[in-house]
Amino acid sequence: MRWIRGLPATAGLLLFGLVATAQEDEALYPAAQCAALWLGFSDYIGGTAEADLGRAFRDVAVRLSGDAARVDAFIAEQRPLMSLMIDAHVWEQDEDSRDIFERLAQTCEAFGARHPETRALLRAE
């Protein structure tokens, strides 16, 4: 079971590898990545406000890319990794997972403040 301890860090590396690939496309990073973060967070805690925020970031990503299928595929790939990262942060007190979550949440907040789909939801928090 020792391999489980390395899972959060491995997921983080996979996450950042995908983010690095997506960074050239603002529709995927940060828009779709933020959608995956908040939808994954919602999956983890069962929160509706987080799900609403995730859907709003998805709407931004679709507007920027014009390709809903591509955005949805990216979100579907990343969403379970976000839940895994949050689980590692909460239950294992994994510092890398916490750092990734905090940085991504800050990125999402700054990015979301510039878009009408997300702006009001971010102010409501």
State pTM to two decimals. Answer: 0.81
Residue 91 buriedness (CB in 10 A; 0-12 / 13-18 / 19+)? exposed
The CA distance from 46 to 39, in Å, is: 10
Q: Could you tell me the residue ranges of all domains in the chain?
A: 29-124
pLDDT tens figures, 93-106: 999 999 999 999 99
Amino acid at 88: A
Residue 64 buriedness (CB in 10 A; 0-12 / 13-18 / 19+)? middle
Amino acid at 6: G
pLDDT tens figures, 31-44: 999 999 999 999 99
